[in-house]
Amino acid sequence: MDFLPLYFDLKNASTLVVGGGEPAARKIELLLRAGASVKLCASEPVKSIQAVINSGDVTLVSSIFNEKLLDDVVLVVAATGNTDVDDGIATKATARNLPVNVVNRAKSSSFIFPSIIDRSPIIASVSSSGSLPVLTRLLRSKLESAIPSSFGRLADVAGKYRDQVREKFPDLNQRRRFWEHHLEGLFAEKIFSGHEEESKLILESSLKSDEFKPGGEVYLVGAGPGDPDLLTFKALRLMRQADIVLYDRLVSQPILDLVRADAERVDVGKERANHTLPQQQINELLVTLAKQGKRVLRLKGGDPFIFGRGGEEIDRLSDEGIPFQVVPGITAASGCSSYAGIPLTHRDYSQSVRFVTGHLKDDSCNLPWLDYVQENQTLVFYMGLVGLSIICDQLIAHGMRADMPIALVSKGTTQDQKVVVGTLSTIPDIVKSEKVKAPTIIIIGEVVGLRNKLKWMN
């Protein structure tokens, strides 16, 4: 281990920064965030440093370094960029047993600044020991995505109950089980979703009880169109803590692989005229599982509120008083069009966009066609592959140009993405020869013509 990770309490402590450039500015910002009192030695501070000098947060003590500046400080940062000057400062500071950091030169430093994930009072840090800062930033970004922004509030609220929990559970293993249950359960989720008072009631109720009685909850999560990189941070967090997962056929395998390994998985996928589980039974299953105290992940392709029947499911949960969360996902129209290089709106070609389901509840295609035949508009049909010929015929019959560009995006955003382009009059025959398969999004409008120039994914 090249460096021992330590955390300094610098509240109101006197520190010295030598240097007035951007590297010095970044260190000053960190020191101020830690509550330190910062003295500065610099001849020509950059604007950001001058601003904190003007505000009184930083004291400019000298323009030229001299050893007397080391009196009464507890930490030193050398950031002049001049190797000889910085090494000289480091030598003098080390002789006084003062921690010193020479910016971007770990070998001359007695400590280094890590990359910080600040969820105060929770603080995480990573470092490459100064060898490759870019790698450190990449690792930090991964940690940032895994640690909710309100994690600090979780620590604050839970910390207030620490003594009560210790008194209730004198045995260490009992306390551990109690905290694991609540810090990964409904108590934590209430804080993350902004319901702090409810979270306190959950913890207080549990402390009054003689045994744990975990409450169930349902997470209605949009998995996006297929590419796992398009998942939201919140979706990933809930996917990794659910006890059981009910997923649709549109959820790709790489996304399913991100679900907690020991979670039970139930395929409730629905295809046209082939429902693994009817919608009503899915609704009741969600209720049953939640009442058993399980954390239920309802994982849907795209966005659960855009042709995903999410409203029907949470309506049933609401009737039963079961808590739920809804996490939006990137809907197929947005994801597939972006990956196909087709902007849904464009100032020159389309000022509005309509999302339309290709078949109704009774499997008909009885739609208000006249409303769809408008200039400067983009139409996106979901679940319309089977009725493609009807869609094209009806649009033409109601006044849309037969040569209006149309694109079909099959398995969009995945490695199997396929894009077929034609016109309303030609696309039915093209699809027969191209053997396009579901799931497929249909995009109709002048914006389709931009694909040849804007496509970026093959």
- What lies within 8 Å, CB to CB, of 330 at 6+ separation is 222, 224, 225, 230, 302, 303
Range of the domain at 293: 217-330
| Residue 238 and residue 317 in one domain | yes
State which of 290, 311, 330 marks the end of a domain. 330
Residues of the chain with pLDDT under 50: none
Q: What CATH number did the domain enclosing 345 receive?
A: 3.30.950.10
Query: CA 400, CA 370: separation in Å to the nearest integer?
Result: 9
> What residues form the annotated binding site for NAD(+)?
22-23, 43-44
| Residue 108 zone, left/alpha/beta (φ > 0; ψ -120 to 50; rest) | alpha
Query: Torsions phi, psi of 62, nearest 5?
Result: -170, 160
> What residues form the annotated binding site?
22-23, 43-44, 225, 301-303, 306, 331-332, 383, 412
What is the pTM (predicted TM-score) of this model?
0.66
The answer to whether residue 137 sits within a structural domain is no
| Residue 292 and residue 345 in one domain | no
The answer to whether residue 123 sits within a structural domain is no
| Residue 161 and residue 242 in one domain | no
Cis peptide upstream of residue 439 (ω within 30 degrees of 0): yes
| Residue 189 and residue 224 in one domain | no
Q: Which residues pair with 324 in a beta bridge?
A: 218
Residue 25 CA to its chain's centroid (Å): 29
Q: Tell me, what's the pLDDT at 364?
A: 62
Residues serving a catalytic function are 248, 270
| Residue 304 and residue 351 in one domain | no
Query: CA 353, CA 355: separation in Å to the nearest integer?
Result: 7
| Residue 245 and residue 299 in one domain | yes
| Residue 223 and residue 322 in one domain | yes
| Residue 155 and residue 237 in one domain | no
| Residue 156 and residue 62 in one domain | no
The answer to whether residue 415 sits within a structural domain is yes
The answer to whether residue 56 sits within a structural domain is yes
Q: What CATH number did the domain enclosing 96 receive?
A: 3.40.50.720
| Residue 237 and residue 193 in one domain | no
| Residue 99 and residue 49 in one domain | yes
Q: Tell me, what's the pLDDT at 88?
A: 96
Q: Tell me, what's the pLDDT at 10?
A: 95
The answer to whether residue 127 sits within a structural domain is no
- What lies within 8 Å, CB to CB, of 165 at 6+ separation is 175, 178, 179, 207
Q: Tell me, what's the pLDDT at 224?
A: 95
Number of domains in the chain: 4
Query: CA 371, CA 350: separation in Å to the nearest integer?
Result: 15
State which of 330, 346, 380 marks the end of a domain. 330
The answer to whether residue 146 sits within a structural domain is no
| Residue 344 and residue 445 in one domain | yes
Q: Tell me, what's the pLDDT at 362?
A: 57
**152-206: per-residue pLDDT in tens?**
999 999 999 999 999 988 877 678 778 878 888 889 989 998 999 999 999 998 8
The answer to whether residue 317 sits within a structural domain is yes
State which of 113, 140, 167 marks the end of a domain. 113
The answer to whether residue 177 sits within a structural domain is yes
**335-368: per-residue pLDDT in tens?**
999 999 999 999 999 999 999 998 655 556 678 9
Distances (CA, A) of 43 to 27, 113, 168, 337: 17, 24, 60, 54
Cβ–Cβ < 8 Å for 284, 268: no
